[in-house]
Structure 1
Amino acid sequence: MSLLVDEERGVLRITIDRQARMNAVDLATMSELGELIIGAETRPEVRVIVLTGAGKAFCTGADLAAAAAAGGNEASPEVVMDRANDVVRAIVDSPLPVIAQVNGPAAGVGASIALAADLIYAADTAYLLLPFTSIGLMPDGGASAMVAAAMGRVRAAELALLGARLPAAEAAAAGLITRCVPADRLSDQVEAVAAQLAAGPRRALQLTKVAINAATLTQLDEALAREKTGQSELLTSADFYEGMTAMLTRRPPHFDGAVLPTTDPV
């Protein structure tokens, strides 16, 4: 099982458990994660969702090794993007409060999943990373909207264009996550917050979440559509093949500087 599920006192805890891959997710895991989040809203006994990772990482993005092993035939780029977008939309649209317990690196779509949560608590040893351009891709999972909404265009560009690592303390100072917590206190912090939410008024919490998201994530749907179009193109490009091969063989990539399309893809 790639996902561990535990429910206690109104708290549904979903743990990504692919430790051999630093909790990088394959398509099946992504699909299951979205289904679990959507299914939770129909269960009156569930009052809050906690997302976290097993071991040393939260989630280090898509499992490119699994995709390479499948010979690129795991699914079409459009289906891959749909599954990632489904998870982000499930988190944002869920009537339940969703907490991300970022116990370690959150990279690629793993960062997008964390940032989609309503409350994000990260260990002081954790960091966020948008490494997409280093393998010939662009940010996805709504990251182009969520990071810019929280940090502004210039800081978002630094993270996305340069693939700069953002330590949890800096992410908290920039307003990108809720709080940076000493690693040995992270579980206690999240458990206390989850218990408070689970004991709260479900409908009032739901409407509060809806109101905040409506005011702050006004460009999320457009961002997901742009990312799907752009990423679907890039996932079939020579630059992505080179970037993925370089990453898997632990060597620097050598991009060929492919000419960009002459028209806007969206």
Structure 2
Amino acid sequence: MSEPLVLAATDGAVRTLTLNRPHALNSFTAAMHAELRAALDAAANDAAVRCVVVTGAGRGFCAGQDLNDAAMAGDDVDVGEVIERLYRPLALRVRSMPVPVIAAVNGVAAGAGANFALGCDIVVAARSASFIQAFSKIGLIPDCGGTWLLPHLVGRARALALAMTGDKLSAADAQAIGLIWQCVDDDAFADTVKALAQRLAAMPTKALADTRRAIDTAAQLSYADALRLEADLQRELGRAHDYREGVAAFLEKRKPTFRDR
């Protein structure tokens, strides 16, 4: 039996999903997409999971689409159909997870692999990692959400330059321009990711997921409508256990125990 293309491991309330094609820098195939989607669905449906970490096996995070995969075979391949069938569902699944998702970028993240990482809630990268918008090198545009993510994260000027040149961006530079949350030394990378994941898993999970929802939705709303959305979400959260527990713990000067999801 062949080895799984996505490895799943659970440590307490943290589920770690590892892309497992190290010989190909974990580049995407249709089969790996299927396993990754199934693993994300399983984490979403498991009430014991309160944070998901996605990382890569070996020296890469994900080098994007494997151009040797059957999904890309033939001179008449419909690349748009591949996006609709594989990448759009993956990007939307990550953004709809009921728990926070950390991209632990351990090595090169290129093409769709880079944008898959950027679509996660928090990106932590090892100092030796890099990000490459490799699409222009093969006559394509950024996909897996890249056309939306890049300008929202770093502005139009930087988004266009990164996408058009396809230049490699170091993890340190990615942090400096606001593309990712944190660049850490390689020897501290694993411990940093673990500590962050455990911290998020102990926080009010539903509020964290609704924070993502509010920020993503507000980007397309007027200021007045964003304020209305805030009120709607606060109304719902204010009636939940975690709000009452958080207030009680604050007043009683103790550590809260959150459980909503």
**TM-score grouping bracket, smaller chain normalisation:** 0.7 to 0.9
Residue 39 (structure 1) aligns with:
42
Q: Does 1:107 align with 2:119?
A: no
Residue 254 (structure 1) aligns with:
none
Q: Are the equivalent residues in 2 in contact too, given 1:146–1:217 (CA < 8 A)? A: no
Q: Does 1:128 align with 2:95?
A: no
Residue 74 (structure 2) aligns with:
72
Aligned with 2:9: secondary structure?
A: strand
Residue 188 (structure 1) aligns with:
191
Deviation at 1:145, TM superposition (A): 1.1
Of structures 1 and 2, the larger Rg is shown by 2
1:1-266 to 2 correspondence within 5 Å? 1-67=4-70, 71-72=73-74, 76-82=78-84, 83-216=86-219
Tell me the amino acid that sits aligned with residue 82 of structure 2.
Answer: V
Tell me the amino acid that sits aligned with residue 9 of structure 2.
Answer: D
Change (3 A) 1:13 1:109: same
The answer to which structure, 1 or 2, has the higher relative contact order (CA under 8 A, 6+ apart) is 1
| Gapped regions of structure 2 (runs ≥ 5) | 222-261
Deviation at 1:217, TM superposition (A): 6.9
Q: Are the equivalent residues in 2 in contact too, given 1:169–1:180 (CA < 8 A)? A: yes
Deviation at 1:76, TM superposition (A): 4.6
TM-score, with structure 1 as normaliser: 0.77
Deviation at 1:96, TM superposition (A): 0.8
| Gapped regions of structure 1 (runs ≥ 5) | 219-266
Change (3 A) 1:71 1:214: closer
Q: Tell me the distance in 1 between the aligned counterparts of 2:136 and 2:90.
A: 22
Q: Tell me the distance in 2 between the aligned counterparts of 1:58 and 1:35.
A: 19
Aligned with 1:200: secondary structure?
A: coil
Deviation at 1:75, TM superposition (A): 7.5
Deviation at 1:215, TM superposition (A): 2.5
Aligned with 1:65: secondary structure?
A: coil
Q: Tell me the distance in 1 between the aligned counterparts of 2:220 and 2:59.
A: 30
Q: Are the equivalent residues in 2 in contact too, given 1:95–1:209 (CA < 8 A)? A: no
Residues 22-68 of structure 1 deviation map (CA, whole Å, 9 limit, x = unaligned): 11110111122123213322210010100000010000000012248
Aligned with 2:58: secondary structure?
A: coil
Q: Are the equivalent residues in 1 in contact too, given 2:8–2:39 (CA < 8 A)? A: no
TM-score, with structure 2 as normaliser: 0.78
Q: Are the equivalent residues in 2 in contact too, given 1:120–1:178 (CA < 8 A)? A: yes
Aligned with 1:64: secondary structure?
A: coil
Matched residue count: 217
Q: Tell me the distance in 2 between the aligned counterparts of 1:183 and 1:74.
A: 42
Q: Tell me the distance in 2 between the aligned counterparts of 1:152 and 1:2.
A: 35
Q: What's the % identity of the aligned pairs?
A: 38
**CA-atom RMSD in angstroms:** 1.9
Q: Are the equivalent residues in 2 in contact too, given 1:149–1:217 (CA < 8 A)? A: no
Q: Are the equivalent residues in 1 in contact too, given 2:52–2:100 (CA < 8 A)? A: yes
Q: Tell me the distance in 2 between the aligned counterparts of 1:74 and 1:102.
A: 33
